[in-house]
Amino acid sequence: MKKVFITGANKGIGFATAKQLLQKGFYVYLGCRSQERGLHALEQLRSEGLTNAEILQIDITNDESVKNARTELGKKAEKIDILINNVGITGNMPQDALSATVSEFEKVFDTNLYGTLRVVQSFKDLLVKSEEPHIINISSSIGSLTLHSARSWKYYENANLFMIYAVSKAALNMYSISLGNQLPKFRINLIDPGFIRTDLTNNQGNGTPDEAANTIVKTILDKSIPTRKFVSEDNNSETQECPW
Ligand SMILES: NC(=O)c1ccc[n+]([C@@H]2O[C@H](COP(=O)([O-])OP(=O)(O)OC[C@H]3O[C@@H](n4cnc5c(N)ncnc54)[C@H](OP(=O)(O)O)[C@@H]3O)[C@@H](O)[C@H]2O)c1
């Protein structure tokens, strides 16, 4: 049974992904910042007969917490096959280029970039033991330099209001490229799940967390999907490739 560790799995896209993977027969470790919210998520899954899941308490902005989570997971499993770096925050307003503050940049980067870095570096040794190690980083098309500079892009106006979030996702994309270059035996995917109705978007959006999870799970099951590409659910072309 393949083992998956998902960060930010107590709600939203992470939770929907956990549920679908459990339904497909994976064993899932639900990375949750709050034990209480994690237990609530676990209960929800159990009530649907999905029992191959455990929670792993982790705050990805805290070195000690990440270290403890790695130690805990090491007691439960000798290896993990798939790591889904799903945690992300948008940060507070204002985020436009003339008003954004350094401290808000630091906060968003601490989660979206440094948090991912902490988790990858701490859990890599468990992934290396898998025959098919796979890392999926959840990004956003808002991090695309090409789209962000195109006036014709449908999110052009809004994207400029979320500049800190956009820069953090662009940085995550670059980090993911470097990670892929350094780990040639790993499958590395970078996914924009589309504009999804979750707490992160104040429940605005075009799709549901379940629809976003479909894209993520498809990337795990379908080995013909190319790795080291930036794929967007918002791009309706056949390849769904998103420009960097
Ligand atoms: N929704 C969209 O339209 C959309 C579009 C493009 C990309 N994305 C990306 O998709 C991913 C998931 O987003 P979502 O919409 O599902 O958001 P969400 O509903 O707000 O869920 C975010 C999850 O991350 C957790 N989290 C936040 N900070 C954390 C930390 N420091 N340590 C551990 N966990 C933490 C939250 O836990 P708590 O419950 O404890 O807060 C929650 O479980 C993000 O990377 C986001 O950038 C979303």
Which domains does the chain show, CATH number per domain? 3-232 (3.40.50.720)
Looking at the CA of residue 169, tell me the nearest atom of ligand 1. Answer: 47
Is 234 touching ligand 1 by the criterion CB < 6 Å? Answer: no
Say how many C-beta atoms besides its own lie within 10 A of residue 106's C-beta.
12
Is 61 touching ligand 1 by the criterion CB < 6 Å? Answer: yes
Report CA(7)–ligand 1 centroid distance (Å).
9
pLDDT at 238 over 80: no
Looking at the CA of residue 9, tell me the nearest atom of ligand 1. Answer: 43
**Contact (Cβ atoms closer than 8 angstroms) between residue 69 and residue 56:** yes
Looking at the CA of residue 142, tell me the nearest atom of ligand 1. Answer: 6
At 226, the pLDDT band (50, 70, 90 cuts) reads confident
Q: Percentage of the chain surpassing pLDDT 70? A: 100
Report CA(146)–ligand 1 centroid distance (Å).
24
- Rg for the chain (alpha carbons), in Å? 17
pLDDT one-digit tens code per residue, 79-127: 999 999 999 999 999 999 999 999 999 999 999 999 999 999 999 999 9
pLDDT at 203 over 80: yes
At 166, the pLDDT band (50, 70, 90 cuts) reads very high
**Contact (Cβ atoms closer than 8 angstroms) between residue 228 and residue 133:** no
- Taking the C-alpha atoms of residue 84 and residue 89, their distance in angstroms, rounded to an integer, is 15
Put residue 87 in one of left, alpha, beta given phi > 0 → left and psi -120 to 50 → alpha.
beta
Q: What is the mean pLDDT of the chain?
A: 96
Q: Which of 192, 180, 62, 189 is nearest to 115 (CA)?
A: 62
At 178, the pLDDT band (50, 70, 90 cuts) reads very high
Please state the φ and ψ torsions of residue 209, each to the nearest 5 degrees.
Answer: -55, -35
- Taking the C-alpha atoms of residue 138 and residue 84, their distance in angstroms, rounded to an integer, is 7
DSSP state of 88: -
